[in-house]
Amino acid sequence: MSNLNKEIVNEILERIKGDFLQEIRENNVELNIKPLRHAKLLDREEISLTESKVGGFPYIPIGERAPMFYDAFSDCEDDEDDDEDGNETMALFAQINCEDLKGLENFPEKGLIQIYMQGDTDFEVYNEDDLKVIYYENIGEHYSEEELKEIYNPKFDCGDFPFGETLGREIGYALEFSSMYNISEISEEKQKKYLETTLKKMNLKLSEKEKEDIFLKVEDDIFYNFKWNEYIDKNMEIVDEKACGIDSRTHCGGYPDFFQGYDPREKEGEKEKYDTVLFQLGSDLSKDGDWRALIFDAGFVNFFINSEKLRNKDFSDIFVDVQCG
């Protein structure tokens, strides 16, 4: 890297980390730390109909059925599974038992939240028929798994649905939640400010090319790849004992992740309206190298909701965003 040696570069990076940590100590609110419930995907052999899961069989009360969508046409050659009237059963994307989210602001503390989508979806939600979120406040008598096999047959013909028949696991994956937190992304403008401040303190005068080279290191090593959550946990007592750094991107609450570097809600002018992460699912790779969930090229999908509507248990208006890896 230019005329700068490795020792100087490392010192710059360490100083920026120190300045960032000092800011955390002095002003937690400005840093924007948010609690969340992080979820691990578990490939258990048995998953009950009422526990938290992605994919698999949903809880359906006796006398009801899963939501439907109208399949006017299909890109697949085989449409034998289509109903005569063109209606198809939507697929369970995620089911969240709210007992797992107790204490998370605005979320219900009991009942089930279910997210349904088309089983051959590309995650584009063009109208209210492409996505359905259902909330059951009370869990009652429901169909058994054997009964569901007769009445719940979502279509998985040709899409990018991240689990189910696409990845060969009919029962889906259980979700194991734990209490964690994350921090908001640091803007490029603020990253550059940290760098300029550090260079000034070290009395270093660099060319524009040298600054650009170092900024790339700052951007990659500190504000992208560095695990700030783990660093904060080891250096500060700012959250409960159960909180820890996040290695997976699947959670309820907290801040969303954006691989593409922009928040699509800002583009749509909807950031304040959809201010809460209802559920975020990140692509999940097992230790054996098998995908438990795959969102396009190892990305993730976010479901946003308005905090007031969430508090009122109104799940009629959801903003969906997909980010590729």
Going by pLDDT thresholds of 50, 70 and 90, the confidence category of residue 158 is very low
- What whole-number distance in Å separates Cα of residue 228 and Cα of residue 7? 22
Going by pLDDT thresholds of 50, 70 and 90, the confidence category of residue 170 is confident
Higher pLDDT, 29 or 314: 314
Packing angle of the helix pair 188-201, 6-26 (nearest 10 deg) = 110
86's CB contacts (< 8 A; 6+ apart) are 70, 71, 72
The region of weakest confidence among 30-34, 121-125, 132-136 is 121-125
Residues 130 and 160 in one domain: yes
Helix H or strand E segment including 22 = helix 6-26
The pLDDT, as a whole number, for residue 80 is: 46
Residue-range definition of the domain harbouring residue 192? 6-31+186-222
Residue 60's identity, in one-letter code, is I
Q: What is the mean pLDDT of the segment spanning 221-231?
A: 59
- What whole-number distance in Å separates Cα of residue 120 and Cα of residue 292? 17
- Establish if 235 belongs to a structural domain: no
Single pTM value for the model? 0.74
Residues 165 and 303 in one domain: yes
Going by pLDDT thresholds of 50, 70 and 90, the confidence category of residue 177 is very high
Residue 221 has pLDDT above 80, yes or no: no
- Establish if 227 belongs to a structural domain: no
Going by pLDDT thresholds of 50, 70 and 90, the confidence category of residue 210 is confident
- Establish if 154 belongs to a structural domain: yes
Instruction: Decide: 89 and 152 in contact? Cβ < 8 Å.
Output: yes
- The secondary structure of residue 223, as a DSSP letter, is T
- Establish if 229 belongs to a structural domain: no
- What whole-number distance in Å separates Cα of residue 192 and Cα of residue 215? 7
Instruction: Provide long-range contacts, Cβ within 8 A and 24+ apart, for 127-135.
Output: 129/69, 129/70, 130/69, 131/318, 131/320, 132/67, 132/90, 133/278, 133/303, 133/315, 133/316, 133/318, 134/67, 134/315, 135/108, 135/111, 135/313, 135/315
Residues 169 and 209 in one domain: no
Residues 87 and 115 in one domain: yes
The region of weakest confidence among 37-51, 65-79, 182-196, 248-262 is 65-79
pLDDT tens-place string over residues 259-284: 666 788 887 778 889 999 999 988 77
Cα–Cα separations (whole angstroms), residue 319 to 12, 128, 130? 40, 11, 12
Residue 75 has pLDDT above 70, yes or no: no
Going by pLDDT thresholds of 50, 70 and 90, the confidence category of residue 253 is very high
pLDDT tens-place string over residues 31-48: 567 889 999 888 888 999
pLDDT tens-place string over residues 276-308: 999 998 877 777 777 777 677 777 889 999 999
Q: What is the mean pLDDT of the segment spanning 179-204?
A: 81
Q: What is the mean pLDDT of the segment spanning 6-32?
A: 75
Residue that has been written with the tokens 């002003």 in this structure: 27
Residues 202 and 251 in one domain: no
Residues 145 and 249 in one domain: yes
Residues 23 and 88 in one domain: no
Q: What 3-state DSSP class applies to 33? A: strand
- The secondary structure of residue 240, as a DSSP letter, is -
Going by pLDDT thresholds of 50, 70 and 90, the confidence category of residue 312 is very high
CATH number of the domain to which 105 belongs: 2.30.320.10
What percentage of the chain reaches a pLDDT higher than 90? 30
Instruction: Decide: 116 and 126 in contact? Cβ < 8 Å.
Output: no
What the block records as the tokens of 108 is: 């219900």
Residues 303 and 161 in one domain: yes
Higher pLDDT, 146 or 72: 146
Q: What is the mean pLDDT of the chain?
A: 78
- Establish if 61 belongs to a structural domain: yes
The pLDDT, as a whole number, for residue 164 is: 44
- What whole-number distance in Å separates Cα of residue 164 and Cα of residue 155? 10
Going by pLDDT thresholds of 50, 70 and 90, the confidence category of residue 82 is very low
Phi, psi angles (nearest 5°) of residue 80? -65, -25
Count of domains observed in the chain: 2
- The secondary structure of residue 302, as a DSSP letter, is E
